[in-house]
Structure formats: structure tokens, C-alpha cells
Structure 1
Amino acid sequence: MSDSRVNLGKQHPAAYKALIALSAEVEEAAVTAGLDPLLVELLRMRTSQINGCAFCLRMHTRDALKKGENPDRIAVLPAWEETGCFSETDRAALRLTEAVTRVPDGHVPDTEYDAAAAVLTADQISAVAWPATVMNAFNRVAITSPYPVGG
């Protein structure tokens, strides 16, 4: 990565702090809606995997492990559909998160939304879409800025 890149968070710290505050509000809303905090970390990780954001992926993997997430679930997250490691709620949330993250592929298809709505409440749908939205913003900040990821 070029050393000449601008660190967006340092260049406009108030905007970055607002994004952090939004993330905290979104996490609180997710828990209030009945989503497991471990699931919220998995959603952040899945978004970061899709976006290729190594910095956020490393950070949220560490956060998930600290919160007690099973390393096996983290290991199979890219292939979650092929495993029995995830509950019906987890699957609905992951499916919707992927659809929100992949909007350039055709927005959020009705089939994906309807599948999530068959399992999740309206509060939970919102509580899944918001972390995906915020994580996509963080990913774009990190992949645009010089956020090095070492060994």
C-alpha cells in the first residue's frame, strides 16, 4: 500500500468518531432486538471477508474470540451454508448480511429478504442490516486508508 495514502480517520476524526458512535448504537440495538453479540461479530467478520478488509477482519476475529466465539465457527464462516455450525437465526442473519454487502450485484433481492423475514422479526431484520451497513462503511475507510495488517 502506498505511503502517500491519507488516513481517513485521522484526516477527519469527527466523522470517524461519529462512525464509531453509530457502531456502538447499532450493536446495542442488535442486542435489544435479541441477537447474540457473538452473531453480531460474525456478521462483521463476514462483511469484512466479502469486502477483503484484512484490518477489520483481524480486529473482529479477535473480538469474537475474546467474547467466547467457537474457533470452529470462525474457521468455517466463509462456507457457513455448507455446515451445521449455525442456527436458523444465524443463517438468516448471514444471508441478509451478504445481500446487504453485495448490493452492487443487484441490490437486496426479495428472495434473500423474504428468507430472512421468515426467521427474523422486524427488529432483528433492522438489527442485522444496520451492522452490515456500518461495517461496510468501516471496511471502505480501512481499505482506502493505510491501515497496515502485520503478522
Structure 2
Amino acid sequence: MLPDIPSSHSYGSVRIELDRIVDVDEHRGLVPYYHFKVLDESSRVVGHINFRVGDTAHLRLIAGHVGYEIHSDFRGHSYSYDACLALSSVIRLWYMSVILTVDRGNLASERIIQKLGATFIDEVLVPPGDPAFTGVDRIKRRYEWIVPSGANPSKGHAARD
């Protein structure tokens, strides 16, 4: 089980609040993670962001260390970008850099990853036997994100799209 961490972090127009720590079946290549709610300036839940801690082939090649989803009604406000930067102080407790992945063709997430300054590594096909395998060819684009240090994300303000 992962250790407790500070429960609230903010950056720009969002605050992330720890909702739960999830312990998983590591025999399938999954890793435990922190699940945060993403809230806007009015404290409305606009989505979630996860930080996965571990080192498995599934994490390195397919899932990545960070996963997020912003509800469709709230997209287009840079909430996922701000949430990633709010999460950076938590990530830095474990890693200097992390792997971010995106399905090829998910242009919105690709733009967020590029805006974060992550470096493209390669593309991989989700292999049979992987927990994310659906039986349909699915390609993941992998990036390395060197997590910012020195800045105080809780006091920062992100540039708007």
C-alpha cells in the first residue's frame, strides 16, 4: 500500500484533492495509484487524475505514470494541464521523470503532453496479454516528462490556451 501524502494541491485554475489510494493486483502488471479529483475554481468536480507508482512493463509501455480524464462539459480550459502541474510535487516524491502515454489519435491529450514539455520516445502496439489489450490494434505513443522542480506548483499560474 502506498504511504499517505498531502491531500490537496493546486496550480492555475484547478485544485486536485486526494480521493483514495488504490491497491491493485500487481500479478497482472498493474501498480498501486493515487486517485485525485480535479476541481475548478468554483470547487466543481471537472474530472480526475491518477498517479501510478511502480515499475512494470504495463506501466512503462502502455499505462504510463499519469492518467487523467476531464468530463466532456469541462474540456478546453487547460484543466488537465493544470492538474498535471498540480500533481508534480507528488510525483517528485518518487521520480525525477515519468512516462506519459497517449492513444495515437488523441490529439487533445497529445497537445497537453507536448505543452508539458515531454519528449517523444516511441510508439508501441498494446500486446496480447496486457491488461489494456482489447483485441483491436491499439497504438500507444510514449513520452518522457521531466517533472519540474524548484517551482511551487501550488502558487503557480499556468498560461491559458
| Structure 1 length-normalised TM | 0.28
Highest RCO, 1 vs 2 (Cα 8 Å, sep ≥ 6): 1
Structure number with the higher helix fraction is: 1
| Structure 2 length-normalised TM | 0.27
